[in-house]
Amino acid sequence: MTTVSAPERSSEDRVDALLSDIQSRLERLEQDRQQPAPDADALNLVVFEAHRDRLLSAFVMATGAAACGMKVKMFFTFWATSALRSESAKRRSKTFVERAFGWMLPRSLGRTRLSQLDMGGMGRFMMQREMKKKNIADLPQLLETAAELGVVIQVCEMSMRLMGIHESELIDYPGLKFCGVAQLVDDAANANTTLFI
């Protein structure tokens, strides 16, 4: 009868433990490989501000990425939501606070102010004049281009409820979607890039 000495047994135990560790690492790697990787061709833009210069930046990035073949989604939340209102929308009955939001916030993309140097509209006027002179697309043109390129615009339902903005008040945009933060989180998890503007 052969007996195994204590040093040989501890050596075998270490080898078994090492093999077990390698096996569990291989299983984890296999599970990670089966999970889909974020889409490198997907871009999410969280649009928070309703200032003209920031909206211009958001739409320039969105249309530029879409023109390069990326799948672009823009999630409008809080103050940016009001910039999507249509000037021609019928007025609806609202609470005093909802009406106050309507008075203080821009009623459309065309009525947005600059975040700096607006100077009671003078800065806006000068910027529009320079953009026209230099053949740079303004917000209405960028919105039209975004629609042509298939940019998806999603509007935060909670922000709409908070500010008393009804779906019927928003612009006519193909495939305009209404969703919540869960949709944004899902989109962000499945995309390689998410930007906050």
Collapsing DSSP states into helix, strand and coil, what is residue 2?
coil
pTM: 0.77
The model's pLDDT over 81-104, given as tens digits with 9 standing for 90+, comes to: 999 998 877 767 888 888 888 877
pLDDT value of position 5: 57
Looking at this protein, which amino acid is placed at residue 49? Answer: E
pLDDT value of position 9: 62
184: nearest Cα among 153, 142, 160: 153
CB 154 within 8 A of CB 178: yes
pLDDT value of position 63: 97
CB 55 within 8 A of CB 80: yes
79: nearest Cα among 115, 50, 99: 50
The model's pLDDT over 25-61, given as tens digits with 9 standing for 90+, comes to: 878 877 766 667 788 899 999 999 999 999 999 999 9
pLDDT value of position 32: 67
Number of Cβ within 10 Å of residue 126's Cβ equals 13
CB 58 within 8 A of CB 197: yes
The C-alpha atoms of residue 58 and residue 73 are separated, in whole angstroms, by 11
Q: Give the sheet arrangement for strand 71-76, strand by strand.
A: 177-179, 152-156, 71-76, 39-47, 191-196
Highest mean pLDDT among 25-29, 71-75, 188-192: 71-75
pLDDT value of position 51: 92
